């Protein structure tokens, strides 16, 4: 039921920043209480390339506004560099926006609640 409500709300926003604010303020998942931050995306709101990440872990949570842990980000930058692409100007987005207890993988049901926003 709530997924249908969120899908309707998505179309009300004319830009990404409004949608990001909506995600941060609404109750999409009970797991939000385990996180200090909502980790939706990092990078440009109008990217040429969208890189899809899984979910934040405790290390990324401690870095507040980083989607990837520093060592993972360094590896991604090297991989993109190998194909002459820069991370700057592009975006990394999580499939699930909050840290889970014990850094466990989110369930399919939990990920489905975020799916309308991807």
- pLDDT at site 38: 80
pTM, two decimals, is 0.73
For residues 95 and 41, what is the distance between their CA atoms, to the nearest angstrom?
Answer: 10
- Considering its fold, how many domains does the chain have in total? 1
For residue 53, report the phi and psi dihedrals to the nearest 5 degrees.
Answer: -105, 170
- pLDDT at site 46: 82
DSSP 43: E
Structure tokens at 109: 């049901």
| Residue 18 lies in domain | 2-117
Measure Cα distances from 103 to 7, 31, 56, 58 in Å.
28, 11, 8, 7
- pLDDT at site 1: 45
Measure Cα distances from 97 to 12, 100, 105 in Å.
21, 10, 12
We report the CATH number of the domain holding residue 50 as 3.40.470.10
Going residue by residue through the chain, which has 118 residues, state the pLDDT in tens, using 9 for 90 and above: 455 555 666 666 666 677 777 787 777 788 778 777 787 888 887 888 989 888 877 776 666 667 888 888 899 999 999 999 999 889 888 888 888 888 889 899 888 888 887 7
Please report where in the chains the tokens 């009300």 appear, as a residue. Answer: 12
């Amino acid at each position: 039921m709530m997924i249908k409500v969120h899908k309707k709300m998505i179309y009300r926003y004319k830009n990404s920043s409004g949608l990001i604010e909506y995600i941060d303020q609404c109750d999409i998942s009970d797991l939000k209480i385990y996180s200090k931050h909502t980790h939706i995306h990092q990078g440009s709101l109008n990217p040429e390339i969208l890189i899809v990440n899984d979910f934040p872990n405790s290390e990324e949570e401690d870095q507040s506004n980083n989607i990837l842990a520093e060592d993972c980000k360094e590896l991604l930058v090297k991989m993109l560099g190998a194909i002459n692409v820069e991370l700057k100007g592009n975006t990394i987005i999580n499939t699930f926006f909050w840290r889970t207890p014990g850094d466990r993988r989110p369930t399919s049901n939990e990920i489905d609640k975020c799916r309308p926003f991807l």
